[in-house]
Chain A
Amino acid sequence: MSTSTIKTVRVDYFALLKEQRGLASESLQTECSTVLELYEELQKRYGFSLRHTSIAVALNDEFADWSRVLCESDKIVFIPPVAGG
């Protein structure tokens, strides 16, 4: 971990991830530095079945790279495989 600064971020869940987490949104404190670290930590904690390679991520309502660094008050949404249409 490159920094150990504690940040408060908001995470929203949809579809399968919402079902596996048991809620739609939460505010949490984390020392993770990137969105990837955060997903892997949450995956371990809540047993998410989807690997990060099968999903996408949005940071503050824009698609983002997994390497993006987390900042205070960021909104993160993990995006399971889509099925619209």
Chain B
Amino acid sequence: MRKRQDRFYSPGRRRIGDLMFSLSNTPIDTDALKRLVNTPEAGAYVAFEGRVRENNEGKKVTALEYEAYEELAVKEGKKILQEARKLDILKAHCVHRTGPLKIGELAVIVVVSSAHRKEAFQACEFIINEIKKRVPIWKRESYADGSTAWVNCAHGHDAEHAHGREERGQLKTTECGHDHIAKGARS
């Protein structure tokens, strides 16, 4: 195990823009995001892309819409990225879509760079899990049978504050081609 590199923690060193959380009502430019986390110190880059899946709990999904409480969503998203800094990463950005989305479309992307791959994998998984749990964003699904539902709100009115469901996930890295779908987000 290498030692924590304190130079990454000095407040003067970290530039504004190394951590960014935002919402977008238009398609996400993934290449631009990947360039933003590029830095000569980074030996690893990991991205999680959550996409709109065509089914949920056995029902065929035909359309989907995200709604966000923007002021608090951005605040909470930034807080999560700040928390991820403890994992010794260099840069982390996340963009979440709002509005209507089609099947297969990118709903959320988390990109992380770090000196070595372990920290980038861990931070990427931490960030997406916390976003699903804490950020005030809601998903309304329309189904092939004509019904609609706000996911996690429809049944179990007594359920504790529910966690998000898993999207079909893709995780990529320049060091390792494994498919690491984020675990532990399901309540």
A residues adjacent to B (C-beta < 8 A): 12, 14-16, 18-19, 49-51, 53-56, 58, 61-63, 77, 79-85
Measured CA separation A19–B107 after assembly (Å): 22
Q: Are A82 and B160 in contact (CB under 8 A)?
A: no
Of listed B76, B136, B137, B164, residue having the most chain A CB within 10 A: B136
Q: List 9 A-B contacts (CB under 8 A).
A: A14-B136, A54-B162, A62-B72, A81-B152, A81-B161, A82-B132, A84-B108, A84-B164, A85-B107
- For B71, list chain A residues within 8 Å (CB): 61
Q: Are A80 and B138 in contact (CB under 8 A)?
A: yes
Closest to B156 in A: A54
Contact pattern, B 146-177, Cβ under 8 Å of A = 1, otherwise 0:
00001111001111111011010000000000
Instruction: Tell me if B102 is interfacial: C-beta within 8 Å of chain A.
Output: no
Instruction: Tell me if B120 is interfacial: C-beta within 8 Å of chain A.
Output: no
Given contacts A82-B134, A83-B151, 13 further A-B contacts (CB under 8 A): A12-B69, A63-B76, A77-B69, A77-B72, A79-B69, A80-B153, A81-B152, A81-B153, A82-B152, A82-B164, A83-B153, A84-B131, A85-B131
Measured CA separation A54–B160 after assembly (Å): 5
Given contacts A51-B158, A53-B160, A80-B138, contact A85 B72 (CB under 8 A): no
Measured CA separation A67–B31 after assembly (Å): 45
B residues adjacent to A (C-beta < 8 A): 50, 66-69, 71-73, 75-76, 96, 107-108, 128, 131-140, 150-153, 156-162, 164-165, 167, 185
Given contacts A14-B67, A77-B72, contact A83 B137 (CB under 8 A): yes
Nearest chain B CB to A17's CB is how many angstroms away? 9
Contact of A61 among B75, B134, B140 (CB under 8 A): B75
Given contacts A82-B136, A83-B164, A84-B132, contact A51 B69 (CB under 8 A): no
- For B152, list chain A residues within 8 Å (CB): 80-83
Q: Are B161 and A85 in contact (CB under 8 A)?
A: no
- For A19, list chain B residues within 8 Å (CB): 150
Contact of A85 among B157, B162, B185 (CB under 8 A): B185
Nearest chain B CB to A26's CB is how many angstroms away? 16
Nearest chain A CB to B119's CB is how many angstroms away? 21
Measured CA separation A19–B138 after assembly (Å): 12
Measured CA separation A54–B157 after assembly (Å): 7
Given contacts A12-B69, A58-B69, A85-B50, contact A51 B137 (CB under 8 A): no
- For B128, list chain A residues within 8 Å (CB): 85
